[in-house]
Amino acid sequence: MINKLICFFTLIFFSCTESVPLNSKKDLNYGIVIHGGAGTMNRKDMTPEKEKQYREALEESVTLGYKILKEGGTSQEAVEHSIRVMENSPLFNAGKGAVLTAEKTIELDAAFMNGKDLNAGAVASVKTIKNPITAAIKVMEESPHVLLSARGAEKFAKEKDLEIVDPSYFFTERRVNDLDKIKNIESSANRSTRQADKEFISMQRYGTVGAVALDKHGDLSAGTSTGGMANKKWNRIGDVPIIGAGTYANNSTCAISATGWGEFFIRNVVGHDISALMEYKNYSIEEAARIVIHDKVAKLGGDGGVIGIDREGNVVMEMNTSGMYRAHINSEGELSIEIYKN
């Protein structure tokens, strides 16, 4: 009798231990990665106070997205809300705190993509929409288009009752000073080497923001928001609102958000190329991102980075710059925040 009882409980124990972790592991496969821009980052330029501010802002953003995912929300909600935190912070080159154009105005770009149905929306060159990421999502959900620009996009946002602000809301003293510095360097005759050119371009941005997430339902999303490059002219638009370049998501592969010298990310169709390497060549997200950033973008002379998450929750944060503001929380709730490459 005792033997039978032991057998019975042993059986129950093993059937439980076998099924519970497997099921719960599947449910736990969700996560979020965010970035706050890539570029040339010197430790000597970073004061402890400044670093603390960045770390706190990144933590606030990624924690909010993670909470949404943990409570069963969608990756779309997580990405949107994480990005809004960074758009509302003056630290990043997105929303408030964006860089200035050559005409001392601010022109914002943003995009969002759903991996579930490959639906996407984007806005470019907008000057009055407080949270361009939300406008991008509205374009996706409530217009028959993918990309709206300038005054048309602003009219659309107004019609959809999104928050509209005076353009002065976005201005910060730091970016006004940055533009002055850039204009001084531009007018100096000593900027002739390729390296100097690269450093100059690097100075003209910083702090584009993005988020990618996988939710408990198995859906991937990607979003990116930016002020583009400082001193930009002629209504220049970068890679961020170009679906497949700076922003891409596909449930069968991954979700990607990029930051860097936009022209190179457009020419390499970075987000889609990473996804295509995974889809057609079966590469892991790490291999695919490494190839695209180091063998493609860098070889053409561009710099920057990407964050990505695949359908199993594997993440990548790859760059060919000395740093990228970035943070990640996995399904176990483990938080990591990094600034420098190594």
Measure Cα distances from 309 to 102, 148, 265, 301 in Å.
Answer: 35, 27, 18, 26
77: left (phi over 0), alpha (psi -120 to 50) or beta: alpha
List 74, 208, 247, 259, catalytic entry: 208
Q: Please, which residue, 32 or 307, has the CB nearer to ligand ASP?
A: 307
Report the C-alpha gap between 265 and 81 in whole angstroms: 25
Q: What share of the chain is helix, strand, coil (3-state, %, to 5)?
A: 45, 25, 35
- C-alpha of 176 from chain center: 24
Contact pick of 69, 212, 213, 229 for ligand ASP (by CB under 6 A): 229
Of residues 256 through 295, those in contact with ligand ASP by CB under 6 A are 259-260, 262
- Least distance (Å) between residue 261 CB and ligand ASP: 6
Torsion of Cα atoms, 61 then 64 then 70 then 76, to 10°: -70
- DSSP structural state of residue 314: -
Q: Please, which residue, 73 or 246, has the CB nearer to ligand ASP?
A: 246
Q: State both tokens at 298.
A: 């860098």
226 binds ligand ASP (CB under 6 A): yes
Active site residue 321: no
Residue type at position 68: I
Measure Cα distances from 29 to 78, 95, 331 in Å.
Answer: 15, 31, 6
- Least distance (Å) between residue 99 CB and ligand ASP: 9
- β-strand pairing of 120-126 with 147-149: parallel
Contact pick of 76, 82, 128, 208 for ligand ASP (by CB under 6 A): 208
Contact pick of 240, 255, 285, 316 for ligand ASP (by CB under 6 A): 240
- Least distance (Å) between residue 258 CB and ligand ASP: 6
Piece of 14-22, 52-60, 183-191, 233-241 that binds ligand ASP (CB under 6 A): 233-241
64 within 8 A of 82, measured Cβ to Cβ: yes
Of residues 6 through 45, those in contact with ligand ASP by CB under 6 A are 37
- Least distance (Å) between residue 335 CB and ligand ASP: 23
129 within 8 A of 123, measured Cβ to Cβ: yes
201 binds ligand ASP (CB under 6 A): no
Q: State both tokens at 116.
A: 């579930």
- Least distance (Å) between residue 210 CB and ligand ASP: 8
205 binds ligand ASP (CB under 6 A): yes
Q: How many positions of this chain bind ligand ASP (CB under 6 A)?
A: 13
- Least distance (Å) between residue 148 CB and ligand ASP: 17
Q: Please, which residue, 204 or 251, has the CB nearer to ligand ASP?
A: 204
Active-site residue set = 208
- Binding site residues, ligand ASP, CB under 6 A: 37, 205, 208, 226, 228-229, 238-240, 246, 259-260, 262
